[in-house]
């Protein structure tokens, strides 16, 4: 059992909370039982697995699956587990996993029908929740632009609650080149923007076409050059007194509007 939070092994793993370490190693941290459950669907991605004795007892089924997949569990004390985590109340499980992002060409080659493009999205919680919503809506990919938060940021990973393992995602994509490539592949591109046409006013057959939804920065929205590239600006109408919608909430509505149309309302 690892008992010293300052041991070299612990320090080495804890560095993965930082982007530089993740970039140089090609690894990232996955915390909590839900994340582990999803990762065990692709067990070859799990490089190391750390857990407290209490967590092994509490989530016995998960650790039985890990053992069946020949993943060795390194037992650690609570202080060590806390040193490996960036949360104030760790859930007793931390895995080191190989990164699994794909290229934009991989996404295009799969002939996607619904894609979310995060343009300069900085908030980890919002980014992770959008990825989770895209997964739930049956989207084919999520693209993180250059200057967006790192998809492997521990807060993003936690916010996806395992959806990170369900659909392809692209990192550090140049916004202009990405939009142009997706349009060339036959997709229409909508910018989710408050001044655009309201979603309920869009014809169903328009929403049913292969679509890229572009979501802008939480604080300042879109750069003008991005809006010049999209086919249309589309708004989520607000019927009550709220000034605006949270980015992840608005993204969920937009993605599901397309999903309903593409799946004939199912």
Which neighbouring-strand residues pair with 5?
none
**Are 159 and 40 in the same domain?**
no
Domain-terminating residue out of 64, 98, 132:
98
**Are 251 and 132 in the same domain?**
yes
> Tell me, what's the pLDDT at 178?
98
Spatial strand order in the sheet of 93-98 = 27-31, 93-98, 46-51, 73-75
Whether 1 is in a domain gets the answer no
In the chain, the number of structural domains is 2
How far is the CA of 200 from the CAs of 29, 75, 207, 261, in angstroms?
40, 53, 10, 12
Domain-terminating residue out of 75, 98, 121:
98
Cα separation, 158 vs 29, in Å, equals 10
CATH number of the domain enclosing 32 = 3.30.1330.30
Domain-terminating residue out of 98, 113, 135:
98
> Mean of the per-residue pLDDT values for the chain?
96
- Where residue 179 falls among pLDDT bands split at 50, 70, 90? very high
Q: Could you report the per-residue pLDDT of 106-139, keeping only the tens digit for each?
A: 999 999 999 999 999 999 999 999 999 999 999 9
> Tell me, what's the pLDDT at 266?
62
Spell out the residues 6+ positions from residue 239 whose beta carbon is closer than 8 angstroms to its own. none
> Tell me, what's the pLDDT at 265?
64
Contact 155, 125 (CB under 8 A): yes
Whether 3 is in a domain gets the answer no
Q: Could you report the per-residue pLDDT of 217-239, keeping only the tens digit for each?
A: 988 889 999 999 999 999 999 99
Domain encompassing residue 179 = 104-262
**Are 203 and 78 in the same domain?**
no
**Are 49 and 131 in the same domain?**
no
């Amino acid at each position: 059992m690892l008992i010293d939070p300052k041991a070299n092994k612990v320090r080495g793993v804890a560095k993965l909370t930082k982007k530089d370490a993740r970039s140089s190693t090609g690894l990232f941290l996955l915390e909590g039982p839900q994340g582990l459950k999803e990762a065990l669907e692709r067990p070859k991605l799990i490089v190391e697995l750390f857990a407290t004795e209490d967590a092994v007892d509490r989530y016995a089924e998960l650790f039985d699956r890990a053992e069946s997949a020949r993943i060795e569990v390194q037992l650690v004390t609570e202080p060590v587990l806390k040193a490996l985590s960036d949360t104030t109340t760790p859930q007793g499980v931390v895995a080191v996993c190989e990164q699994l992002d794909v290229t934009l060409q991989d996404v295009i080659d799969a002939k996607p029908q619904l894609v979310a493009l995060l343009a300069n999205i900085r908030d980890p919680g919002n980014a992770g929740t959008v990825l989770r919503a895209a997964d739930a809506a049956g989207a084919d990919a999520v693209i993180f632009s250059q200057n967006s938060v790192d998809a492997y940021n521990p807060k993003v990973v936690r916010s996806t609650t395992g959806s990170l393992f369900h659909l392809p995602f692209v990192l550090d994509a140049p916004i202009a080149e990405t939009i142009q490539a997706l349009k060339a592949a036959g997709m229409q591109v909508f910018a989710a923007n408050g001044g655009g046409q309201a979603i309920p006013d869009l014809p169903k057959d328009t929403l049913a076409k292969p679509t890229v939804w572009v979501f802008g920065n939480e604080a300042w929205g879109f750069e003008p050059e991005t809006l010049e590239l999209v086919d249309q600006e589309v708004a989520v109408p607000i019927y009550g007194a709220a000034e605006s919608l949270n980015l992840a909430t608005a993204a969920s509505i937009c993605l599901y509007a397309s999903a309903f149309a593409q799946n004939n309302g199912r």
